[in-house]
């Protein structure tokens, strides 16, 4: 499972963590060894998205997990309501999944945001071309297929990117 952790964290140092620092060559009896932080663990000085050149807060910063969860729920409710409009008076059943997939693929591929993302001030950005408005159809399909199972979205790395963002080379940022 270490390969999976390293993949989530974007590589990193594979050496085992040390339990404490070595005692320096000093005769000071007041010396207390302090734990040595690992090279691949975030410290208080780092923020999500820093290694991609993103700011700590404000427009362009990595979106928080609660905002992303709210966006997911709003898009799911919107998809269910739209599907219900077409299947009324019967419940939408699996038509809501199809509607959700269309809501996730088309707008993100073209403009980089679903309707709920626009409402909450979020945007999906490709890491290799952050200035382009959309993510592209192929990467959006990969991202949506990963997001469909929900659990990959809950497995986040130190940059608050879910598995769906890692495989599609994207990050969700605040647009305002």
DSSP character at residue 158: T
CA distance 49 to 62: 6
The answer to whether 78 and 116 have CB atoms below 8 angstroms apart is yes
**Residue 107 pLDDT:** 95
**Residue 101 pLDDT:** 93
pLDDT in tens, 33-69: 554 444 444 455 688 888 888 888 889 899 988 999 9
* Confidence (pTM): 0.70
**Does pLDDT of 1 surpass 90?**
no
Residue positions counted in the chain: 176
Residues of the chain with pLDDT > 90, as a percent, come to 38
Query: Concatenated DSSP letters for 27-86?
Result: --TT----PPPPTTS--TT--TTGGGT--SSSTTSBPPHHHHHHHHHHHHHHHHHHHHHH
**Residue 45 pLDDT:** 62
Tell the burial category of 16 from Cβ atoms under 10 Å away from its Cβ (0-12, 13-18, 19+): exposed
Please give the average per-residue pLDDT across 65-78, as a whole number: 93
Given the structure tokens 């404000």, which residue do they identify?
Answer: 58
CA distances from 89 to 79, 83, 86, 100, 167 (A): 16, 11, 9, 20, 39
pLDDT in tens, 19-34: 444 444 445 555 455 5
How far apart are the two ends of the chain, measured CA to CA in Å? 37
The answer to whether 92 and 78 have CB atoms below 8 angstroms apart is no
């Amino acid at each position: 499972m270490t390969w999976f952790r390293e993949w989530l964290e974007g590589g990193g140092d594979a050496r085992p963590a040390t339990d404490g620092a070595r005692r320096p060559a000093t005769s000071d009896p007041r010396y207390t060894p302090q734990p040595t932080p690992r090279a691949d663990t975030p410290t208080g000085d780092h923020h999500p998205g820093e290694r991609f050149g993103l700011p700590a807060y404000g427009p362009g910063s990595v979106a928080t997990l609660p905002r992303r969860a709210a966006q997911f729920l709003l898009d799911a409710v919107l998809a269910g309501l739209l599907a219900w409009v077409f299947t009324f008076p019967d419940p939408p059943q699996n038509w809501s999944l199809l509607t959700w997939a269309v809501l996730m693929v088309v707008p993100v591929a073209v403009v980089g945001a679903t309707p709920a993302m626009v409402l909450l001030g979020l945007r999906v950005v490709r890491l290799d071309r952050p200035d382009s408005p959309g993510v592209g159809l192929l990467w959006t399909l990969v991202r949506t297929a990963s997001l469909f199972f929900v659990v990959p979205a809950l497995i986040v790395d130190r940059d608050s990117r879910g598995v769906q963002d890692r495989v599609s080379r994207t990050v969700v940022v605040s647009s305002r």
